[in-house]
Amino acid sequence: RSVGSPSVPWIPDKKTLELILDILQ
């Protein structure tokens, strides 16, 4: 099983995740 195939196709890094959460609020 490859590490590049999680259940989620794209896992954002911490900064990108914080930016997305900031936009969603």
Question: How confident is the model over 1-25, as pLDDT tens digits?
Answer: 456 665 666 777 889 889 999 999 9
Amino acid at 18: E
CA atoms within 13 A on the CB side of 16: 4
pLDDT of residue 22: 95
Q: Say how far apart CA 15 and CA 21 lie, in whole Å.
A: 10
Residues in Cβ contact with 2 at an 8 Å cutoff, skipping those fewer than 6 apart:
none
pLDDT for res 12:
74
